[in-house]
């Protein structure tokens, strides 16, 4: 499957399931709708900052890149950006989410904006061989993964948790039983 076929099958799925989405033209030029390579989704979640998780899916030449993020930057100072990077590193190293997944998600902190997001690359052949798994990762897995760590990240960045308390919260709430 190539980029156009993968994009088409994903958009057909969204339409069939009545999932609202937007196409985003990031090329800053007039292009045909069927050439737009970015799909934007938003999911209302009451217990996260901003009350939404946003997801963008970018269809590149060789793979699809999906990222989910909070609706606002969490780190607005150099110190918070450093702390956010430490939190993301810890999440990437010690959380068990990716242990049995064919699609591996990673947490990132954008040093310029202070945004925290998780992302994954999805090869186009998986749209053929594992379409349900691809859709699950795009619509559910990444969204739930970043939602699950919102409160401890915010508490850590705002000084309500120390780094040790942040790790302890993860151990008690996410890593227990893994």
- In the numeric block, the tokens 């990673």 are attached to 106
pTM: 0.87
Q: Are 8 and 16 in contact (CB under 8 A)?
A: no
- What does the alpha-carbon distance between residue 74 and residue 132 come to, in Å, rounded to a whole number? 32
Query: Where are the extended beta strands (E) located within the chain?
Result: 22-24, 38-44, 52-59, 63-70, 106-109, 116-123
pLDDT of residue 178: 43
CA 21 to chain centroid: 16
- What does the alpha-carbon distance between residue 122 and residue 134 come to, in Å, rounded to a whole number? 7
pLDDT of residue 3: 94
Q: List, for residues 113-147, the tens digit of each pLDDT value.
A: 999 999 999 999 999 999 999 999 999 988 988 99
pLDDT at residue 176 is higher than 70: no
Determine the structural domain holding residue 122 and report its residue range. Answer: 3-173
Within-domain flag for 157: yes
Beta carbons within 10 angstroms of residue 168's beta carbon: 13
- What does the alpha-carbon distance between residue 105 and residue 144 come to, in Å, rounded to a whole number? 12
Within-domain flag for 28: yes
3-class SS of residue 70: strand
Q: List, for residues 58-98, the tens digit of each pLDDT value.
A: 999 999 999 999 988 899 999 999 999 999 999 998 876 66
Greater pLDDT, 101 or 93: 93
How does 152-163 read in b/e, with b if 16+ C-beta sit within 10 Å? bbbebbeeebee
3-class SS of residue 90: helix
pLDDT average, residue stretch 98-109: 79
Structural domains in the chain (count): 1
Average of per-residue pLDDT values in the chain: 89
Within-domain flag for 178: no
Within-domain flag for 149: yes
Within-domain flag for 164: yes
């Amino acid at each position: 499957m190539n980029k156009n076929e993968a994009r088409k099958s994903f958009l057909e799925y969204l339409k069939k399931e009545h999932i609202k989405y937007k196409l985003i033209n990031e090329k800053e030029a007039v292009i045909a709708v069927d050439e737009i390579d970015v799909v934007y989704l938003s999911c209302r979640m009451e217990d996260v900052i901003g009350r939404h998780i946003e997801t963008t899916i970018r269809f590149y030449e060789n793979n699809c890149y999906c990222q989910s993020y909070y609706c606002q930057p969490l780190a607005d100072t150099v110190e918070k950006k450093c702390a956010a990077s430490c939190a993301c590193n810890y999440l990437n190293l010690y959380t068990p989410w990716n242990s049995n997944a064919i699609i591996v998600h990673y947490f990132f902190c954008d040093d310029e904006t202070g945004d925290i997001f998780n992302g994954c690359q999805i090869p186009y052949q998986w749209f053929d061989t594992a379409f349900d798994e691809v859709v699950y990762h795009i619509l559910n897995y990444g969204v739930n993964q970043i939602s699950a760590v919102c409160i401890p990240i915010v508490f850590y960045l705002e000084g309500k948790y120390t780094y040790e308390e942040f790790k302890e919260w993860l151990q008690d709430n996410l890593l227990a039983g893994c």
